[in-house]
């Protein structure tokens, strides 16, 4: 693993998608699984049934969603409605420019 044996991989499988998070050994597996669940539900809400092509062709939007949730290794937000509201506000600003 990257960074040695102090890290662990936590993943969750949804249909044809796998979401893998690399975290340090002090992180709670259940907490990360919940974070993955919120991440996938938010992606599903933003992309209306997320698929591989959404992740490939809209990687910038996926990064923005993840950045709304996690920053500097700390979980900032897990409320899906709040995350979607912030992403929609960012999209409106981008379109107005």
Domain ranges of the chain: 29-96
**Mean per-residue pLDDT, 61-72:** 93
**Mean per-residue pLDDT, 61-76:** 92
Distance between CA atoms of residues 43 and 24, nearest Å: 24
Predicted confidence (pLDDT) at residue 17 exceeds the cutoff of 60 = yes
The CATH number, out of the four listed (3.90.1150.10, 2.40.30.170, 3.30.450.60, 3.30.70.1140), of the domain defined by the range 29-96: 3.30.450.60
pLDDT of residue 55: 94
Global confidence as pTM = 0.87
Residues 6+ apart with CB under 8 A from 14: 40
């Amino acid at each position: 693993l990257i960074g040695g044996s102090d890290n662990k991989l936590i993943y969750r499988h949804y249909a044809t998608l796998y979401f893998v998070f690399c975290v340090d050994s002090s992180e709670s597996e259940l907490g990360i699984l919940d974070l993955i669940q919120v991440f996938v539900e938010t992606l599903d809400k933003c992309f209306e049934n997320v698929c591989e092509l959404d992740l490939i062709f809209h990687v910038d939007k996926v990064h923005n969603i993840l950045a709304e949730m996690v920053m500097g290794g700390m979980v900032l937000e897990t409320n899906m409605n709040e995350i979607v509201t912030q992403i929609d506000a960012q999209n409106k600003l981008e379109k107005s420019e």
